[in-house]
A and B are shown apart, each in its own frame.
Chain A
């Protein structure tokens, strides 16, 4: 039994509410009381938050980990440390490991191995949607779901064959399983390395048209409607995709959508100067796209903000732009990135947190992600205004590929609790 802890003198960010409220929280492994808590049981650990903010621990629905198979990029241990420092208490790991997570035994491996290594942070594996992620034959969705897979995804390899996706979506309905799909037309996007537009033309780099995404969004929502399947549109990047998403939601299609923090904070100009650390898939798009995505998060049209954490060692990034790998780490920059939207007045605090806590919890059917009595005590304490200049060398991730290097950010995690147990404390 965890010794009860009372954190008082705090500002509570309850994602279910519209406003931040002053108050305290009492918890052991679960939240015992929240709001105006006045008394604590004898022997309780009493912490003065000194006006810091308390929020549910973040649930990051899209994290690439190199274990098993590419431990030089990231391990359960390094990802766990980075997550705890970044305020992420639950993360969904992508199946593009070696071997691919397309078999029960690998789901089982992650669920048993990860908790021993992460120092407390919860890891749930997403399973491959198709065998070997090759887009041809669906995996054992029923058995994998029973084994504990969070959802089913083909990772960064979109499924070109509509019949394969149709059957997978349809089959998954028997198990209530969620299918996540990266909407990108592989033939339209082939060879592209950044957003197609004036800048790409000037830099002499092949572009990826925004239509490569919106065409696939149209197809995917129609397949979701046809099959009745639950679809998550994974990491939207373009304003053009929002129209079909809104229409599908209006029509009652069971579709949700995510966006990476990078696409909410950065735009195509961050790759200017051939900065490969900002080379992402989907690519950073125009400022108009970025603004539209922020608005969509505020409106609830986009449900979830993810880190899109994708560790790449320097040797994969320090290359000519066209040859460099896609991807950026994000576990430690998800929170300060999201808070920058608050500081710039682009989104409400509670809205931002809802997209990183309660909403992913609802989609994944998890009990955490809420500041309510009885929920698991996954809690973070944040000094919301604390300024710092990001030094990528200080990242706990094994790979340091972040487009935020040398950027001025605000917002630091002071403490991270998982199941009431402290897993991270900021250095003073």
Chain B
């Protein structure tokens, strides 16, 4: 594999990005720093496209992308759909919850069926951790994990890193606080892995009941007091409180959660002046984030994240299409 110095090189022309060596994108944990930075570099080239009148490329012309969502999603699914279409691919959306699963088809049956249709790229979201990897073992095409249970959501972490890098120039050395429902969050797991790999100092802030056992050993600092955890933070990344994944009371009430762990202007003052706010969406306003913060264009990167999401996913599709899509697995 070609070696290249690591670090941010914003001005480097992307004439020949390094070939992506993985067949699938299943988890940030599978990647190394060099691969991540090279994906971010690719995304940088696609970002300006959204502002152009004609937004379509032909990089993936003739290729088929299937969005296979076992769990409801609006923004991730449409982000992948747009990314695929802008790259010139034919995009098919399948919402499996409504069809086969209801009739008793297993995950592997679904995979076999889809494989017979010969897609080139398969974007999969599933409510069970590890389900996307299981499916990837049963199909020939490239599989992108669009979120599996409480495990990983690699493209979200990539787009978050891309957003931060575009805004602040680099990630190395930043203090990034990830707050809220860490326990149920695949976004948090992917982000901790990615941001620590890129040299950020990552903090996790959550009530003890929403902090996974053993999070201390992830390379992030653990806080239960939000104001303490925010001290000196460059970026505050809020997580959605995932009530749909909660059985029984992890915290007493939305009111109490907001009081101690909801990001409002007062708590944000404890972060570094000018600190930026992110949220993977959809937001629970008044539970984990106050509208005064979420809607403040001076601090909120939430819209930028959505914009960058499309470019980041175009980059991922491109990398997988040239590397592993319908090609034999890596040697």
Contact = CB atoms under 8 A, between A and B. Distances in A.
Contact of A174 (B249, B250, B259, B260): B260
B252 A140 contact: yes
Contacts of B209: 167, 170-171
Contact of B259 (A138, A143, A164, A167): A143
A170 B208 contact: yes
Contacts of A131: 252
A174 B248 contact: no
A44 interface: no
Given A171-B209, A174-B207, A174-B208, A142 B249 contact: no
A95 to B, nearest CB: 15
Given A137-B252, A163-B248, A173-B224, A142 B208 contact: no
A419 interface: no
A140 B255 contact: yes
Contacts of A164: 248-249
A171 B255 contact: no
Residue among A136, A164, A167 with the highest chain B CB neighbour number at 10 A: A167
A170 B251 CA distance: 10
Interface string A159-194: 000011001001101100000000000000000000
Interface string B225-251: 100000000000000000000001111
A140 B249 contact: no
Interface string A132-169: 00001111111100000000000000000001100100
A140 B256 contact: yes
A298 interface: no
A222 interface: no
B208 A139 contact: no
Q: Which of B208, B225, B251 has the most CB of A within 10 A?
A: B208
Contacts of B260: 142, 174
Given A142-B259, A142-B260, A143-B259, A173 B208 contact: yes
B225 A139 contact: no
Interface in B252-301: 252-253, 255-256, 259-260
B248 A137 contact: yes
A227 interface: yes
B248 A140 contact: no
A141 B209 CA distance: 13
Nearest to B211: A170
A227 B208 contact: yes
B6 to A, nearest CB: 38
Contact of A171 (B225, B248, B251, B259): B251
A171 B211 CA distance: 10
Contacts of B249: 136-138, 164, 167
Interface size of A as a range: 10 to 19
Main secondary structure of the interface of B (DSSP, over half): loop
A200 B224 CA distance: 49
A128 to B, nearest CB: 11
Given A173-B208, A174-B207, A227-B208, A138 B225 contact: no
Contact of B252 (A139, A170, A173, A227): A139
B224 A141 contact: no
Residue in A139, A141, A170 whose Cβ sees the most chain B Cβ within 10 Å:
A170
Contacts of B255: 140, 143
B207 A143 contact: no
Interface string A111-141: 0000000000000000000010000111111
A258 B282 CA distance: 48
A173 B210 CA distance: 12
Q: Which of A136, A137, A170, A174 has the most CB of B within 10 A?
A: A174
B184 to A, nearest CB: 14
A352 B92 CA distance: 77
B225 A141 contact: no
A241 to B, nearest CB: 27
A304 B98 CA distance: 60
Contacts of A142: 252, 256, 259-260
Interface string B192-212: 000000000000000111000
Contacts of A140: 252-253, 255-256
A136 B255 CA distance: 18
B224 A174 contact: yes
B253 A171 contact: no
A173 B223 CA distance: 12
B208 to A, nearest CB: 4
Contacts of B225: 174
Given A138-B249, A164-B248, A174-B225, A143 B208 contact: no
Nearest to B213: A226
Contacts of A138: 249, 251-252
A141 B252 contact: yes
Contacts of B207: 171, 174
Contacts of B224: 173-174
B181 to A, nearest CB: 13
A159 B248 CA distance: 14
A69 B146 CA distance: 55
Contacts of A174: 207-208, 224-225, 260
For A131, A137, A138, A173, the residue with the greatest tally of chain B CB atoms inside 10 Å of its CB is: A138
B248 to A, nearest CB: 7
Nearest to B251: A171
A176 to B, nearest CB: 10
Contacts of A136: 248-249
B199 to A, nearest CB: 29
A142 B249 CA distance: 14
Contacts of A170: 208-209
A333 B249 CA distance: 40
A167 B256 contact: no
A295 B207 CA distance: 39
10 contacts: A136-B248, A136-B249, A141-B252, A142-B252, A167-B209, A167-B248, A173-B208, A174-B207, A174-B224, A227-B208
Given A142-B256, A167-B209, A174-B225, 10 more contacts: A136-B249, A137-B252, A138-B249, A138-B252, A141-B252, A142-B260, A167-B249, A171-B209, A174-B224, A174-B260
For the complex of A and B, list the 5 residue pairs with the smallest distance between their C-beta atoms, beginning with the closest: A174-B224, A137-B249, A140-B256, A140-B252, A170-B208
